[in-house]
Amino acid sequence: MKKIGLTPYLLLLPSLIYLLLFFAYPMVQSLQLALRREGQYLHLRAEAKEEAAPTGTVAMQTDVTVLDRVRGEELLPNGRTRPVYWFLVEGPDTSGVPVQGWVSQRDVFIESRTESTTARVVNGEATQEWTLDYVRRMVTDFRFGNALATSVLLIVLILPLQFILAIVMALVLQSQIRGSTVFLYIYAIPLGISDLASGILWYSIFTQRGFLNSFLVSTGLLDQPFIFIQAGNQGWMIAAIVLAEVWRATSIVMVIVVSGLQAVSRDVIEAGEVFGANLWQRLRYIILPMLKPSLQVALILRTILAFQVFAVVVAITGGNVITVLANETYRWYDPARFNNPNVAAVYAGFIMLLSLGISFFYLRAVRSQEEATRAT
Amino acid sequence: MTETTYPDRIKPITPSAERLDAQRRRAKLAHAVRRASIYILAVAIAIWILLPIWLIASMAFSTPADVRAFPKQILPSPFSTQTLEFFLNTQGIINSTINSLVVAVLALVISTLLAVPAGYAIARYLFPGRDAIRLGILSVRAFPVVVLAVPLAVVFIRLGMFDKVHSLAMMHAALTLPTTILVVASVFASVPYELEEAALIFGCTRAQAFWRIVLPLALPGIAAAAILTFVLSWNEVFAAILLTISNRTLPAQILYTLDKSGDPFKFAGGFFMLVPSLIFIFFIRRYLFNMWGQINK
């Protein structure tokens, strides 16, 4: 290790700026998209002048009653003048309370400047304001509940299978069989496979003329192909997605568990063996407790990644009957469909909050469990 | 002299030779059965991983007629490149493949250039804030791309950077940068500092020592990290489909046309996207645990 200078900071600076630019800035932007709205409001004035003090704020399209009017003159660039009317109006402000004030003719629509007694506000200042409209739109969308339920269901189904399979894989690799490096590489192959490719792979198995039906029909188990992927067969569609995800994303858990196992000293496991612990006891009382930090990290990572599952769902089911949160984010954003980046940003923020919340919950759950065992 | 009599409980065990032998044989057999079952399990898992890849490959290398045939054969139908050719000749595929390659190479260059100095700093210097920076980098490596893509698309539109190949490459570089920094740092940390010291003693400047001694030793690891960036970018579809319209990358193009395409296109596309990942694992195999193993430190 070298002595401290400015050097390490200078070396790190470009990366930190880059990360800030691409992580922190979009987060602020996302908040803006999700919770802020461009609004237009008209300020009523105490006198018939632009610079007069405001008396209240009225929203666009508010109907107001005209109580009084004055005729003024406006100087045009060519030196001539033209009449400009100001109206004293009364109407509900943004919170519904009646207010009175002067408005210029260019801010209201009025049938007759000299005679009409009602007008409508049509102009105003653009302002940014906080709004829950987009959030409301997301929550009330009929697909939202569906997407949330499916996302959670997929996590509940996929994660336990993944962890069991990953631990089995890791134990197999650690049992000093010949060719274990070859097996490790084979097990690690899905690490580099995208969720889209994996979705297409499993689609080829589950589709009507796919491999599963080919197998079932040619072995005589079925007379004719069974259509797994169709609107009425949600269970099979979910099953196909679960298999595709377990197939693709177990590798990363496996790598984390294997490196965690390598840290568990063999002596400890062998000591367990010497004292007569069987495989289950060794697993339950020695290996799993020592793997806990690795498992915890893998759990957080996999949960966060699971909320982003998107292409698998689209590849296998088309993304209409079965939908997940990430898919909804895309549908709302897609210019060819809803074209509403604001609601998409709300979805994105919701995914973010869920990921954070669940990570926090895992950390808390594990810690309180540790405290409980220490107390006893 | 009377023979010593033992109560039943503590009768000395004097097993006969045959019984000992039988016991040993039984233990051996049990051991053999256990080994065999581990091998069977290992092979079964390998088949579970490899079978789907085999199936899609057998489809990609057949004729479109064979792809549509039912029931399909598990063994490949006569070898043919027709399905793959059909896929590659579909409008937009060659273009999007080129886009994908450009994006992936650009992302690789950006993230490597940024990560090498940063990784070196983390590996070689002890400075105030080092742990905080490390932790910060660790925590953004799992940052959901879904969350970033929407606001970035809006920002890119505003800045006139939307639908540009290099904008997407910058985004992909950002996504992989945290991982790359950590991998590069662990690679540098595994280069013995003594070598660098020796170079300094023999009159190298610090920069020369880095350039001539440390970098060549760390190069394979850095290359592995770069390949990781390449594959992540090649695979990434969510940001790609949000940030591009006319310059789609391959996965974005395939996903976008998925519901309008037939099975030959899908299967060939699936296989085509898979190929780099199969090569990838071969190149990074030594660094597997550098990449994902050190996650909890």
- Tell me which residue range forms the domain holding B45: 19-89
Query: Hey, is the C-beta of A65 within 8 angstroms of any chain B C-beta?
Result: no
Interchain proximity B151–A190, CB inside 8 Å? no
Q: What is the pLDDT of residues A171-193, one digit of tens each?
A: 898 887 888 888 998 999 998 89
Asked if B98 and B61 sit in the same domain, the reply is no
Is A360's pLDDT higher than 90?
no
* CA nearest neighbour of B139 among A313, A51, A352: A352
Asked if B77 and B174 sit in the same domain, the reply is no
Interchain proximity A177–B278, CB inside 8 Å? no
- C-alpha A310/C-alpha A176 separation (Å) is 38
Name the minimum distance, in Å, from the CA of A86 to any CA of chain B. 38
Interchain proximity A11–B273, CB inside 8 Å? no
Q: What is the DSSP letter of A221?
A: S
Last residue of a domain, one of B89, B105, B125: B89
Q: In a 3-state reduction of DSSP, which class is residue B216?
A: helix
For testing the chain A interface, which of B227, B233, B295 should be mutated: the one with the most A CBs within 10 Å? B295
Residue B125 has its nearest CB partner, among A2, A217, A345, at A2
pLDDT for B13: 63
Q: Which residues 145-184 on chain A approach chain B with CB closer than 8 angstroms?
A: 165, 168-169, 172-173, 175, 177, 180, 183-184
Is A118's pLDDT higher than 80?
yes
Interchain proximity B146–A214, CB inside 8 Å? no
Q: Are A183 and A172 spatial neighbours (Cβ–Cβ below 8 Å)? A: yes
Question: For residue B13, is it within any domain?
Answer: no
Asked if B103 and B75 sit in the same domain, the reply is no
Question: For residue B1, is it within any domain?
Answer: no
Name the minimum distance, in Å, from the CA of A42 to any CA of chain B. 27
Q: Name every chain B residue with its beta carbon within 8 A of the beta carbon of A256.
A: 292-293, 295-296
Is B296's pLDDT higher than 50?
no
Q: In a 3-state reduction of DSSP, which class is residue B5?
A: coil
Mean pLDDT lowest among A26-30, A132-136, B89-93, B282-286: B282-286
pLDDT for A373: 62
- C-alpha A117/C-alpha A65 separation (Å) is 6
> What is the arithmetic mean of pLDDT over A348-359?
89
pLDDT for A5: 76
pLDDT for B295: 46
A82 CB neighbour count, 10 Å cutoff = 9
Q: Domain spans of chain A?
A: 7-37, 40-131, 135-375
Is A288's pLDDT higher than 90?
no
Name the minimum distance, in Å, from the CA of B4 to any CA of chain A. 33
Is B131's pLDDT higher than 50?
yes
Interchain proximity A311–B154, CB inside 8 Å? no
Asked if B111 and B226 sit in the same domain, the reply is yes
Q: Name every chain A residue with its beta carbon within 8 A of the beta carbon of B49.
A: 186-187, 189-190, 247
Q: Are B57 and A193 spatial neighbours (Cβ–Cβ below 8 Å)? A: no
Q: Which residues 242-261 on chain A approach chain B with CB closer than 8 angstroms?
A: 247, 252, 255-256, 258-260
For testing the chain A interface, which of B34, B37, B49, B191 should be mutated: the one with the most A CBs within 10 Å? B49
Q: Name every chain B residue with its beta carbon within 8 A of the beta carbon of A165.
A: 45
Asked if B56 and B175 sit in the same domain, the reply is no
Q: In terms of C-beta density within 10 A (0-12 exposed, 13-18 middle, 19 or more buried), how is residue B261 classed?
A: middle
Tell me which of A356 and B78 has the higher pLDDT. Answer: A356
Asked if B33 and B135 sit in the same domain, the reply is no
Interchain proximity A23–B174, CB inside 8 Å? yes
Name the minimum distance, in Å, from the CA of B284 to any CA of chain A. 10
The terminus-to-terminus CA distance of chain A in angstroms comes to 43
Asked if B260 and B233 sit in the same domain, the reply is yes
Is A4's pLDDT higher than 80?
no
Question: For residue B280, is it within any domain?
Answer: yes
pLDDT for A3: 54
Give the confidence band of B297 by pLDDT, cuts at 50, 70, 90.
very low
Across all residues in chain A, what is the average pLDDT?
A: 85
Helices (H), B125-204: 130-140, 145-159, 165-189, 193-201
Q: Which residues 198-227 on chain A approach chain B with CB closer than 8 angstroms?
A: 200-205, 207, 209-211, 213-215, 217-218, 225
- Cβ-Cβ contacts under 8 Å between A and B: the total is 294
Q: In a 3-state reduction of DSSP, which class is residue A41?
A: strand
Give the confidence band of B293 by pLDDT, cuts at 50, 70, 90.
low
Fold of A135-375: MetI-like fold (1.10.3720)
> What is the arithmetic mean of pLDDT over A105-121?
86
Give the confidence band of B97 by pLDDT, cuts at 50, 70, 90.
very high
> What is the arithmetic mean of pLDDT over B100-115?
95
Q: What is the pLDDT of residues B197-234, one digit of tens each?
A: 888 888 888 888 888 888 999 998 899 889 989 999 99
Interchain proximity B70–A217, CB inside 8 Å? yes
pLDDT for A263: 77
- C-alpha A248/C-alpha A236 separation (Å) is 18
Across all residues in chain B, what is the average pLDDT?
A: 85
Question: For residue B166, is it within any domain?
Answer: yes
Asked if B197 and B82 sit in the same domain, the reply is no
CATH number of B180's domain? 1.10.3720.10
Give the confidence band of A374 by pLDDT, cuts at 50, 70, 90.
low
Last residue of a domain, one of B89, B117, B141: B89
Question: For residue B44, is it within any domain?
Answer: yes
| Token reading at A195 | 């969720």
pLDDT for B244: 87
Q: Name every chain A residue with its beta carbon within 8 A of the beta carbon of B258.
A: 314-315, 318
Asked if B138 and B77 sit in the same domain, the reply is no
Based on the structure, what is the number of domains in chain B?
Answer: 2
Question: For residue B4, is it within any domain?
Answer: no
> What is the arithmetic mean of pLDDT over A102-116?
86
Residue A172 has its nearest CB partner, among B38, B133, B174, at B38
Q: What ipTM was assigned to the predicted interfaces of this complex?
A: 0.85
Name the minimum distance, in Å, from the CA of A51 to any CA of chain B. 33
Q: What is the pLDDT of residues B145-174, one digit of tens each?
A: 888 888 888 888 888 888 888 899 999 999
Asked if B127 and B270 sit in the same domain, the reply is yes
Question: For residue B11, is it within any domain?
Answer: no
pLDDT for A224: 81
Question: For residue B6, is it within any domain?
Answer: no
